[in-house]
Each structure stands twice: as C-alpha cells, then as structure tokens.
Amino acid sequence: MGGMTISEKILAYASGKNYVRPGDIVDAKIDMAMINEITGPLAIQMFKRIGLEKVWDNQRIVLVLDHQVPADSVKSAELHKIMRAFAEEQKIPYLYDVGDGGICHQVMVERGHVRPGELIVGADSHTCTYGALGAFATGIGSTEMAAVFMSGKLWFKVPETLEIEVDGSLPPMVLPKDVILKIVGMVGADGATYKAIEYHGATVKAMSMDGRLTLCNMAVEMGAKTGIVEPDDKTLELLHGLGIKEKKYAILKSDEDAEYAGKISLKVSDLEPMISCPHSVDNVKPVKEVEGKEVDQVFLGSCTNGRLEDLRVAAEILRGRRIKENVRMIVAPASRSIYLQALKEGLIEIFVRAGCMICNPGCGPCAGAHQGILAPGEVCLSTSNRNFKGRMGSVEAEIYLASPATAAATALEGRITDPRALLKR
C-alpha cells in the first residue's frame, strides 16, 4: 500500500476512510458549498422540488451575485431576487450582494470561506481556484448542488494526480499567467481530464498567493477536476491575516511515496510572455509570434487576473501614459476589497487617466454576460481564462488570452505587444 497525494488524503478524510486510491468511489462530507446567480437559482429550484424545508447547514453555504451585477435585465433581476429570498428563508448569513462582494472565487478566499484540507464545491467550473490554499475544490452542476444542500454530502471518484513541477526564476515581464498558459499549451485542453493537478517546484514556492490562485484557476482548462498547491508559510500568512486560527484547518502534504499518473517538468528561467490564440485555450504561442495583431478591446480582470498584484503590474506600465486611440480598455477589480485597495494605492486613478473604463467588481466582460460585449469581427486581448467562440459576445469575434503585463502593453500600442519591449524604452 503506497502513500497518498494531498488530494487523496482530503477525500479520504472527508469520507471517513484511512486510505483511498484513484478510481475509488467515496461518499464525502462537504465543508463549504458556493453558488452564484447564474447556477444558483436552478439548484434552489431543484432543492425545493425535492420537498425539503431546510438546508443541511446554513453556515456552510455561500451565495454570491457576480455575473450580471448590477442586474442588466428583468431576467437577471429575477435571478438575483431568487438568491436573496433563499438566503433569507434559510437564514444563510453569507450572501454577497451587489456592491458587497465581487467575483465569487475571490470572495470565497478573502472572506475566509476556504481553508487547507477542506473539500469545497461550487456551482461554477473555476471553483478549482481554491486549491491554491491546499483545499480540494471543484465545480459541480446545479442539480448536484441541490443534493449537497439536502445532505451535505456528494459522491466522488478519487482522481489520479498529475504532478507539475515548475522551477527557475521568472524573467522580467513574465508572470504566473504566462506560466499557466505555457502549461495549458503543453498538457492540452483535455490532457488532464478528471485528474487532480498538483503544482510543485521552486517557482511555485516563490509565487505570491495571487500567483498560485492564477495557476489553480486554469487547471480546469486542461480538463482537471482540481488544481492544488501544498500549504506553506505564505498560505498560513494569508489565513492569519484573515483571522483564521490554526485549529480550524488541517495542513496536509503528499507522502513521499505517493503515486502520480505522470509528471511534467517546466523550467521558466527563459520563459517568454505567452498568449492563447483563438479559439482554444491550449492554442498557446509566445507573444512575439502574434505581435502586431490589432485589437479593439483589452480586458483586465476576471477570477484569473483581477487581483491586486495584477492591477499593480498593469498600472505600473500605464503610469503617465495613454492607451492607443480607438482602443477600449476595461478594468474590473475582482472584489470590493481589491477595488478599495486599488483606490488607496492610486491604481484606479492611473487607469482612468490612461483612458481605461473602470467596471464594478464582477464577471461581466469575461463571461460575455454584461459589460464589454464584443461585436462581430472585433478582437479582444483578455486576462481571463477562456477564448471560445462567443465567450465575450459575438461568435465572430476573436479573443486572445494573456497576462496583465501583455494586456497593458497591448492597450498602449493598439496591437498585441510583447511587454518586454517596454523595458527597452
């Protein structure tokens, strides 16, 4: 009997077992469950159809309004109303309404709803983001969420784990987003289907928590069930800053003799800024190979790159400059608290003076649901995580995915630009 990975340990503990291995079916207790106003109303409808009056634990459910905020139509207003009514009816204290939260995945982390060693589900595919804190977090469907509301449990097939080791120091203007784009290009859009991706290596250890959140956020773009980083001092520092005491979580690490489905090693000391080209996330190339492509819009934000570190990088590039005429740049901080800190640091003023449009925290432009919709034939460079046809509006639009540094440089030039070119000026 070999050792277990961190993901296997979490699923074993959650299902009351001493040992699990890939392929096992477990019935596991859920620590936290999250819904937003796109996926939540269906889960609520299904829960009520079952005929139960109370959720299993109203302290373990989080509701976030983030995709179409403030409401952009009667329909979205109705969805918001359903969420508010459910929170009131079930006495759920964690409702993050318009103006109070931001993108669900950022809110979950910064409001203390994610802890190492926990099993967390969200009715949104990018729930895997929370693996940056050493939790096993994964997206589920709305009907599955109704079952969680009912029982606090859900069955899982224990996934195999793919180990990805990243070593080396990132060069100037090369960011964690470039690392994960490189990895997605190497693994492919379905290369890690139903696997847990475990990130290791000196580069990951050196990354801020913001950077690790970016890595784990895009695990699902490789088909993975989750992405995860073993907790360390940086994780503990974040938790302590949130006032979460050590007795409230478990620090788990993979055993030395844990078995992996495979291992990918990446040296990043010579890594270039990377870009994902239409219309597939794994269509990844160095930025320099597509330099010069004119853009109509640049988007800085999303659950991938709307955090403070991302805003700082872009603001430093835009400081004292103006974006190119006839180019729109939309900036959406990932949460209310990030927005406030960006105001304090003067980042918002830099963006406004550069000609950017500042949107409220939310998913709108990324999801093509609200704000920044693309017209046919338009080209957008986005810091988000998906570039499928129709993702941000018209199916005839093109979306390129890149880092905040590449986004800022592109907005200045009006065409896709390697941000390292700015170092020469």
CATH code that applies to domain 6-266: 3.30.499.10
Reply yes or no on domain 274-418 having CATH 3.30.499.10. Answer: yes
Cα(349)–Cα(355) distance, integer angstroms: 10
Cα(5)–Cα(355) distance, integer angstroms: 48
Name the helix (H) or strand (E) containing 126. none
> What letters, b where the CB count within 10 A reaches 16 and e where it falls short, cover 274-300?
bbbbbbbbbbbebbeebbeeebbbbbb
Give the tens place of pLDDT for each residue, 245-299.
Answer: 877 788 999 999 999 999 999 999 999 999 999 999 999 999 999 999 999 999 9
Q: Residue 425 has what pLDDT?
A: 60
Give the tens place of pLDDT for each residue, 16-67.
Answer: 999 999 999 999 999 999 999 999 999 999 999 998 889 999 999 999 999 8
Instruction: Name the segment(s) of the chain with CATH classification 3.30.499.10.
Output: 6-266, 274-418
Give the tens place of pLDDT for each residue, 88-125.
Answer: 999 999 999 999 999 999 999 999 999 999 999 999 99
User: Helices 40-50 and 142-151, interaxial angle, to 10°?
Assistant: 50
Give the tens place of pLDDT for each residue, 79-89.
Answer: 999 999 999 99
Cα(183)–Cα(239) distance, integer angstroms: 28
